[in-house]
Structure formats: structure tokens, C-alpha cells
Amino acid sequence: SSNQMWGGRFAAGPDAIMEAINASIGFDKRMAAQDIAGSRAHAAMLGATGILEPSDVEAIREGLLTVLSEIEGGTFAFSTALEDIHMNVEARLKEIIGEPAGRLHTGRSRNDQVATDFKLWVRDQLDAAEAGLLALMKALVAQAEAGADWVMPGFTHLQTAQPVTWGHHMMAYVEMFARDLSRVRDARARMNESPLGAAALAGTGFAIDRHMTAEALGFDRPSANSLDAVSDRDFALEFLGAASICAMHLSRFAEELVIWSSAQFRFVVLSDRFSTGSSIMPQKKNPDAAELIRAKVGRIFGAQTALMMVMKGLPLAYSKDMQEDKEQVFDAADNWMLALAAMEGMVRDMTANREALEAAAGAGFSTATDLADWLVRELGLPFRDAHHVTGSLVAKAEAKGCDLPDLSLAEMQSVHDGITEAVYGVLGVHNSVASRMSYGGTAPARVREQVARWKEILG
């Protein structure tokens, strides 16, 4: 049979394959609450502007609430023949309230309806991402506060570079996630214009009040151009962009946790709650959550690429291609929220191995720069000369198989006779980090300032 929504000009119903490729109800049912909220706002506005009779508006309002409770209660029968969430809801409304249901779509199209629903859905996810990021940042700050003065190796090229503090390393991620948060907030502010009332593409001849529906749905204003309102999905791309960058940050941190929890590093112990075992090797405790977080950026960035490709060639206004926006965003959102929550749990539960961090901090001649700086400061050597002298001392220590502080004063003086006993004072890793007092540096005092500032912001 032909379609009850647009069957007027059709003699035959769709082929089964047509129905299969066309239907979006399998996934867009996730926007049911948003669809009903949008319809309620639209109906109320149609009443307020006198376009619909109050009795019809009241019937629609009550009917929509019934539909919502059926969906929430799991008793709603979704139909593929009805294509999408919009037509499923409207068809059920008609079953419940009869004729007034047919008046709901006055001055509206599925094109502005779907843009509105999807925006409301993405907006909720931006709010969820904000909450997830804030929770993660708090967990990191707690780790940083506990270990503000614990020393560990800082790396470049994953080779020992200079000692840093555990707190400093944790706070580095707080800064990254704070920028992710600001991207989330920017995206939310920019997207918060209502497409509702743009109708199919050109606006409508009915004297609707788009400001009223915009306000009812928590938008800052109606979008200014009806063609733009129904044909762009840049808000979804921005969501995916913010998600991708954040997922990249999560992935880098996850990679560090994988390395740090290995028997070779032993920098951290992950809790049992966020680890798995091996079915064959009894000793194993695997950082699976970290590995999966590391991988999530692939599908999230993949979603952004996919939607970008969907959009890039579309002429204005709506094309059905745009129905492909939702699965990408749904999948990316689910996995972003999960990755944020898993990372927060791991960080909250993990135990830093202070002794292992400190032992590693001094290895690999990590205070060589401090030695060179000392030669500059105390002996007045030009930095390049100091660099050379220190390099010779490192070579000497390496040949002896010892660390820089293990060289005797005589051995030091054989390289440069101006060196005194006082040099040993800068070779310790604690001295090294304590001296890094430049703004933003790794000195425990600076780390405590960062911690205090973020505790204030995060509450």
C-alpha cells in the first residue's frame, strides 16, 4: 500500500530494498525525546499564534506525552515502513488522538524537524562531554596534588630528558582537557540556533513565531536563514572535531598508561577494577581499558572523516545523504563518553609507584642539563662550552657504567679543573626539579600553584 504520510501521488508502495535503504528508524529512534520536545514546542506555538485551535493543541500536547511514555516504557512499536522517528511518532499520535494529529505538521517539514532534533541531541552530548571532562580533570588534579613533588623522568623521543614531577605530568593533561572543554563550550555556543520553522527550505507562509519555539527549546535564537538552517551539519562536524581532538589526547595518555604499567617501567599500578587477566598466563594483568581508549580515536576521527565526505558535495538545501549524519555521530558520542568515563575511573583508581618513579628519574643522565647550567652559573663558562664539558662527563660515566653523581671529584676535575664539591648539589633529581621555578616549570612549588588554581576553577 502507499504511504500514509505522502501516499497521495503514489499508486504503489516501496520495494522492500527501497524500504531498507531508506529507513532510519533503526537508529534515529534515539532522538525520540528530542522529536517530541520539538513537536510540543511547535504545537504550543501554533496555538499561541492562532494557527491551530486551542482544543487541537491540547489534544496534540496530551497525545505526545502519551507517545513519549510509550517510548520510554518500551511498549512503542517502531515501524520500518514509517521510515523515521518523525513519522513513527506522528503516526502513533494519529492513532491516539485522531484528526488533530494531522494538523501538527502545519508550517513545518521533516527537514527543519530533523535538524532541530539532531541539534538538541548533539547539544545534550556536548553537555555530557563537559561533565565527563570535568570529572576527569578533577581526578587528574587529585593525582597531581598527591604527588606534586614526586620525581619521575621527563622524556623527549621517549629517551630520558630531564627529571620532572608526577604532579607536573598530571597537570599537563589537565591543561589539554581544559582546552578540549573550551572547544566543547565553543561548539555548544555556536550551534545553539533553532532550525525549527525553516520548514522544507524556504520558510513558510503561516504566521509562525520562530522566536517562541527557539526559546521553548533552549536555543539562543532562531537561525537567520531557512536554507542554511536545513542544509548544514557543521554543528555535528564541530562536535566530531572536538571529540576527535579530545580522543587524541585520551589516546596519548592511554599510551603512557600502557607503557607505565608494564613490568619494565612499573610507574603505575592500575586497579583490578580497570584491568583484565589472561586466560593462559596466570601472572598477567592487562591494561585493556587504556588500550581500548587508545583505539577509540580511530573510530571517532573516522566518523568525522565520513561525515565530512557525506557533506562536501551537497547542493543546498536538504538531500537524503544527510540522513547518514546520525550513525556516525551516535557512535562517536557513545565511544567518546565511554572513553572519558573509563579514563576517569582509571586515573582515580591508579597508584603511582613513587619509588620506581624516583629510581627512573635519575637514570639516563637526566641531570646533565643541571650540570651544564651549574658550569655556566658557577664557573662562568659559555653554555656551549659547558655543554661540551658535560658531554665528556656523561661519556666518562657511561664508560664506567655509573651515573653522573657516582663520578668522583677527581674524575670530574680531570675533565674541567674548575669543578668543585658543590656540583653534587645540583646532580640530585630533587634539586633538579626544585630549581625549575620558571613560570609553568616543573618545580613542586609551581605544580602546587597549578593545582590550587585548578581546584579553585573546578570547585
CA dist 301 to 130, 247, 298, Å? 19, 8, 5
Residues in the chain, overall count: 459
Q: Which of the stretches 293-301, 317-325, 377-385, 405-413 binds ligand ARG when contact is defined by CB under 6 A?
A: 317-325
**Position among 24, 143, 160, 213 found at the interface with ligand ARG (CB under 6 A):** 24
Between CA 102 and CA 62, with CA 49 as vertex, the angle to 5 degrees is 45
35 binds ligand ARG (CB under 6 A): no
Gap between the Cα atoms of 108 and 197, Å rounded: 6
Cβ proximity to ligand ARG: between 112 and 145 the closer is: 112
Cβ proximity to ligand ARG: between 318 and 336 the closer is: 318
CB of 110 to ligand ARG, least distance (A): 4
The three grid cell numbers given for residue 385, joined into one nine-digit string? 662550552
| Residue 362 neighbours by CB under 8 Å, 6+ apart | 151, 163, 403, 405, 428, 429
Count the site residues for ligand ARG by CB under 6 A: 10
In which region does residue 401 sit, left (phi positive, over 0), alpha (psi from -120 to 50) or beta (all else)? left
Cβ proximity to ligand ARG: between 114 and 242 the closer is: 114
111 binds ligand ARG (CB under 6 A): yes
CA dist 458 to 130, 140, 346, 400, Å? 12, 11, 19, 50
Residue 359 is which amino acid?
A: A
CA dist 2 to 22, 86, 110, Å? 15, 18, 19
Residue 180 is which amino acid?
A: D
Among residues 182, 262, 278, 392, which one is catalytic? 278
116 binds ligand ARG (CB under 6 A): no
34 binds ligand ARG (CB under 6 A): no
**Position among 323, 328, 367, 442 found at the interface with ligand ARG (CB under 6 A):** 323
The question of whether 278 is a catalytic residue gets the answer: yes
Cβ proximity to ligand ARG: between 234 and 403 the closer is: 234
Q: Which of 383, 364, 362 is nearest to 373 (CA)?
A: 383
Cβ proximity to ligand ARG: between 318 and 454 the closer is: 318
446 binds ligand ARG (CB under 6 A): no
Q: Which residue has the cell 593525582?
A: 143
**Which 61-100 residues touch ligand ARG, going by CB under 6 A?**
84
| Residue 293 CB neighbour total at 10 angstroms | 25
Cβ proximity to ligand ARG: between 123 and 416 the closer is: 123
232 binds ligand ARG (CB under 6 A): no
The three grid cell numbers given for residue 113, joined into one nine-digit string? 524537524
Output phi, psi for 270, to 5 deg.
-85, 150
CB of 19 to ligand ARG, least distance (A): 13
322 binds ligand ARG (CB under 6 A): yes
CB of 84 to ligand ARG, least distance (A): 4
Gap between the Cα atoms of 118 and 140, Å rounded: 33
110 binds ligand ARG (CB under 6 A): yes
442 binds ligand ARG (CB under 6 A): no
Among residues 1, 157, 279, 408, which one is catalytic? 157
Cβ proximity to ligand ARG: between 323 and 390 the closer is: 323
Q: Which of the stretches 107-115, 120-128, 256-264, 418-426 binds ligand ARG when contact is defined by CB under 6 A?
A: 107-115
Count of alpha carbons within 13 angstroms of residue 74, beta-carbon side: 0
Q: Is the dihedral of CA 398, 399, 402, 406 positive or negative?
A: negative
The question of whether 319 is a catalytic residue gets the answer: no
CB of 454 to ligand ARG, least distance (A): 41
Gap between the Cα atoms of 51 and 53, Å rounded: 7
39 binds ligand ARG (CB under 6 A): no
**Residues catalogued as catalytic:** 157, 278
| Site residues (vs ligand ARG, CB under 6 A) | 24, 28, 84, 110-111, 114, 318, 320, 322-323
